[in-house]
Amino acid sequence: MSWSRLRGLRARSLAAVLGCVAGGLAAQAPHGFKTYENKLAPLTFHYPVAYKEVPLPPTEQLLVAHFVMDGDKRPRELKKLDDRLFAAATPFLDVFAFDDTSAPVTGGQPAKADESGPATVREAMEAQSKVSSWEEFEKRLPAFQLIADDKDPDAFTLRYKGRSPGRGMNLVGRLQRKRNGNQVMGVYAISFEPHAEALAKIVAQVHKSLEPTEEDSGELDAARLERLYATGKYGAVEWRIKARMQLAKGWKAVDTDNYLIVHHTKKPALVQNIAREIEAMRAFYSELFPADAPIDRVSVVRLCETLAEYKQYGGPPNTGGYWHPGNEELVLFDYAETQKGLSDEQKEAMGGRKLSNADSFLVLYHEAFHQYIHYAVGEFSPHDWFNEGYGDYFSGAVVSRNTGRVLRIDPSPWRIHRAKDQCESGQGFLSLQQILSAERAQFYNRAHIADYYAGAWSLVYFLKHSEEVAKHPRWSKLLDDYFQNVKRCYREQLAAMGDNPDLRQKQVASFEARKKALAETLKGIDLDELQAVWKQFVIDMKDPWPGLRKKGG
């Protein structure tokens, strides 16, 4: 259903609306299943109650919905499965739909494809996610071989190509599809071998219930949400309404001036604190890094209930949160809630440290800076020492509960100990030249990423808090000079690309802009002298958490 059609729905009578909605409702769900409720989705269907819905990223173009098995509702045949194995390969079920445009076109010439490349990361991700033929669909399941049934060409067994995660615990899958004109719709599910027979029945039941959504099935929801925003308090109303209508089951949303907080938690106080403090940080970022033009984007902050849910949504391994410029989302999880579910083994590995709300806010302040600076510099990323160094710098912010303003910036509890190790003993030490000039592949190299993060944080903290820096005419301006230079250099590089540069050209422009901006910023600065003062500053820095520093550091 198009958004323009959605806006016009309120003009119709309530009787007509009720009639359309009633006509569009799926048949009563059988025992053990419930009806999928997203009115903007192209399909209606039933899904098993033992599965819970996981939100899809906003750039997803193939999947209609993604479900994972609830660990507390495992079937009998999976009860004895090791919890770690279940968590690593949690059974899931996906419903998909796409338009097959590979069929021959009759009655005229096919429309000529747009040969221009995507202009943004989001457009590139949407194009990569889009499927327009069955052959392209199969490429979305590279780990499985699709074997068609002899009696039903629209039913497939999915054979896992990789190694079995455990004896008698091979991964198995089942897929069924159907067509409605050029639309291909279907369902597939992956589980463990003992669950294969039951899985096939689940897939068959979901497949049987699949129906295209009625055009007007979202009318009542749209009207209700338009009333919610009738006060005019918030901007980007159409975007906010659409985002709310696409929420996965059990997820809710809270509006702020610049954000939509999407969450799956039973802690309203935590959500309200996030809403208040991210706006406080936004104001702080704006003071330090004024954008050349107003930032009118409303940004999503997605709070997952636990680390497990964060990973199911797509959280990268070994991360505590992330900002994704393509999906345009800041994603984190509730650390305190995650602490409750840790095993004794996991708690022991943490050395007595406990996860808490303080960790959630530390991540929030860090990732919110990435989110803000992306738009402030012109929708690209400055050097990672600046981006990650400042992100970690802001993670030490202390926000007043009374005034909603940032009171001070404390050291980062996640970086200070490694930074002191670097400067005191040389362990993992990186020179200023290495830190400042590192491009993404070098900065995020797994062997040295923690050293780059610590070095970047300590450099930014030093430049912001050192008395010697404050007295120096060039050092004191280094951070602001780089910010202004990188914005200007990017504009100049884009202008040289001509009208409407595509994403590839923008990536070239950003690389050249970073390189030129850094050279201009450091011109005339003695890096050896600066490095010596920086190292001594870190060595002399007071450690607020000496008990958390690893022995030998």
Could you write out the three-class secondary structure of 456-513?
A: HHHHHHHHHHCHHHHHCCCHHHHHHHHHHHHHHHHHHHHHHCCCCCCHHHHHHHHHHH
Q: What is the reported pTM?
A: 0.85
- Segment 306-315 shows an average pLDDT of 94
State the Cα torsion 350-351-355-360 to the nearest 10°.
-70
The more confidently predicted of residues 245 and 391 is 391
pLDDT at residue 21 above 50?
Answer: no
Confidence of residue 104 (pLDDT cuts 50, 70, 90): low
pLDDT at residue 523 above 80?
Answer: yes
Using CA atoms, how far apart are residues 277 and 23, in angstroms rounded to an integer?
45
- β-bridge mates for residue 176, sequence order: 155, 187
Task: With H, G, I as helix, E, B as strand and everything else as coil, classify residue 522.
Answer: helix
- In this structure, what token pair is assigned to residue 119? 């202009």
pLDDT digits 0-9 by tens, 36-94: 988 788 899 999 999 999 999 999 999 999 999 999 999 999 998 888 889 889 999 99
Closest C-alpha among 69, 24, 60 to residue 44:
24
- β-bridge mates for residue 234, sequence order: none
Single-letter amino acid, residue 143: A
Using CA atoms, how far apart are residues 223 and 202, in angstroms rounded to an integer?
35
pLDDT digits 0-9 by tens, 311-331: 999 999 889 999 999 999 999
Handedness of CA 34, 39, 21, 1 (dihedral sign): negative
Using CA atoms, how far apart are residues 152 and 144, in angstroms rounded to an integer?
19
Element (H or E) spanning 46, and its range? Answer: strand 46-48
pLDDT score of 9: 33
Pairing of strands 43-44, 211-212: antiparallel
Using CA atoms, how far apart are residues 138 and 133, in angstroms rounded to an integer?
9
C-beta neighbour count of 508 within 10 angstroms = 13
Percentage of the chain beyond pLDDT 90 is 74
* Strands of the 51-54 sheet, one edge to the other: 51-54, 63-69, 92-99, 183-192, 171-180, 155-160, 144-148
**Domains present along the chain, CATH in parentheses:** 30-103+118-209 (2.60.120.1690), 408-553 (no CATH)
pLDDT digits 0-9 by tens, 332-360: 999 999 999 998 888 888 877 899 999 99
- Segment 189-216 shows an average pLDDT of 92
Using CA atoms, how far apart are residues 186 and 207, in angstroms rounded to an integer?
6
Look at the block and give the residue holding tokens 């609830």.
70
- Segment 275-297 shows an average pLDDT of 92
Give the range among 24-28, 284-288, 306-310, 525-529 with minimum mean pLDDT: 24-28
Closest C-alpha among 216, 214, 158, 160 to residue 187:
158
Contact 302, 330 (CB under 8 A): yes
12-26, 228-242, 482-496: which is most confident: 482-496
pLDDT at residue 116 above 80?
Answer: no
C-beta neighbour count of 82 within 10 angstroms = 11
Contact 273, 336 (CB under 8 A): no
Using CA atoms, how far apart are residues 288 and 422, in angstroms rounded to an integer?
29
